[in-house]
Structure 1
Amino acid sequence: MDREKLSFIKLKPSYSVEKFSCGDADLDDFILHRAVAFQKHLLSVSYACVDAMSPGKVLAYCSLANDKVSITDFKDKTEFNRFRKKRGFPNEKRMKSYPAVKLCRLGVASDAKGQKLGSTLLNIIKSMFVIENKTGCRFLTVDAYLDAVPFYEKNGFRFMNADDNDPHTRLMYYDLMDIVA
């Protein structure tokens, strides 16, 4: 699909996604039935990548919410301090947590897979928080499904904690300073 024919839109509560299937029942259910309620209650905001020629067809979507990278995300204070040092935080900016945005959900329609729409969405999100940053945001975070880990690694995400052994997801982050630097 020609990227110039794509639109990235913020889904409004009045926008109803009639049809979407990415092959994951939870991701499909969220965009079809729960995204509006999450947005109405200020829990997350969803965005869609649509074909500009047929704006009712959602090709991919993502849902974002506020988050933080915190000392509690690491096995101990020493590991957190190593993380801060590696990320280049000056001593006067040492805090117990740093502002982040959580990528709650990301789905690409089954009939649009293989067109790099997931990576395109991630690049749009990254630029939103570097170019249009309204509050201060250093990191993007995601609880990546295990089968999606290679996709996130390919897009510059790193593991938050080497000891994370959740059987379904891995906590990962992207440092937005990687774009700025």
Structure 2
Amino acid sequence: MSVEFLDPAPIAGCHKLKNISSGDKAFLPLKNFLKQEALYLHDEDITKTYVACFNVADDDPQRHKVVGYVSFTNSEVCFKEATLPEGLQGLKYQSLPALKISRLMVCSKHRDKGLGRVLMDFAIWMAIETIRPWVGCRLLTVDSKPEAIEFYKRYGFEMIDTPDNLNSDCPVMYFDLRSAMEEDDAALPESSDGEGRKVVSKEQIPVEEPAPDH
């Protein structure tokens, strides 16, 4: 039986956080953040968190039960002493504005169901279609756990290739939004959600599951 998820929505008081599981103890801080800080920081406009829930009827007990989330904050990526990719060469700034995936987690009980893919597609859509048209934002970035590096590479993220970053416990990776849009729309196929906004096609972006927690 296939599982369907609602589009990620802003965290709110109605969301049920009690039963989300991080699995490995290394990811316990991600669970604790969701339960203890996410709503407060969201309301204070410090970190915006979007949660994923099952697509079920309003009277279903699973309604509003959170099974994954992604959090965003503003950031920048510094390319001092780093090799610039072709798409960024010629820019006179060493640091570029970015939307940062500060946290991403899939409940350990609901992995291998495509939820990591849902959250990543949402993050890319958020950066390209919602943030970039209104605010200077060239990159999507993440401080990746080693276990998640290959996951992000499949979405086109690249590593800052300085020795310090390559040897970091959570190296900085980035995704060039402009280059993705200029590749004849092939890298990020788009479709309408019925309200005029464009969304990333989940079927056409290759990604393997399970998605590692960030």
- Secondary structure at the aligned position of 1:48 is classed as strand
How many Å apart are 1:63 and its aligned residue? 0.7
Which aligned pairs between 1:72-151 and structure 2 lie closer than 5 A?
A: 74=80, 76=81, 79=82, 82-83=83-84, 86-88=86-88, 91=90, 93-133=91-131, 134-151=134-151
- Secondary structure at the aligned position of 2:93 is classed as coil
Equivalent pair of 1:139/1:174 in contact (CA under 8 Å): yes
How many Å apart are 1:117 and its aligned residue? 1.4
Gaps of 5+ in 1: none
Equivalent pair of 2:15/2:65 in contact (CA under 8 Å): no
Q: TM-score under structure 1 normalisation? A: 0.82
2:40 match: 37
Q: Aligned pair in 2 of structure 1 residues 104, 153: CA closer, same or farther (>3 Å)?
A: same
Indicate yes or no: 2:82 matched with 1:65: no
Q: TM-score under structure 2 normalisation? A: 0.70
How many residues get paired? 169
Equivalent pair of 1:100/1:141 in contact (CA under 8 Å): yes
Of Structure 1 and Structure 2, which has the larger fraction of its residues in helix? 1
Equivalent pair of 1:20/1:32 in contact (CA under 8 Å): no
Identity %: 25
How many Å apart are 1:154 and its aligned residue? 1.8
Equivalent pair of 2:15/2:64 in contact (CA under 8 Å): no
2:176 match: 175
- Secondary structure at the aligned position of 1:87 is classed as helix
Counterpart CA distance in 2 for 1:39 and 1:179 is: 29
Greater Cα offset, 34-43 or 138-147? 34-43
How many Å apart are 1:27 and its aligned residue? 0.8
Deviation string, structure 1 residues 111-162 (Cα, Å, up to 9, x no partner): 1111221122111111122122331311111111111112111222110124
Counterpart CA distance in 2 for 1:111 and 1:6 is: 17
Counterpart CA distance in 2 for 1:112 and 1:6 is: 14
Indicate yes or no: 2:53 matched with 1:50: yes
Equivalent AA in structure 2 for residue 100 of structure 1: A
2:7 match: 7
Counterpart CA distance in 2 for 1:21 and 1:178 is: 36
Gaps of 5+ in 2: 57-61, 183-214
Of Structure 1 and Structure 2, which has the larger fraction of its residues in strand? 1
How many Å apart are 1:2 and its aligned residue? 3.9
4+ residue runs over 4 A deviation: 13-16
How many Å apart are 1:13 and its aligned residue? 5.7
Equivalent AA in structure 1 for residue 47 of structure 2: S
Counterpart CA distance in 2 for 1:58 and 1:114 is: 16
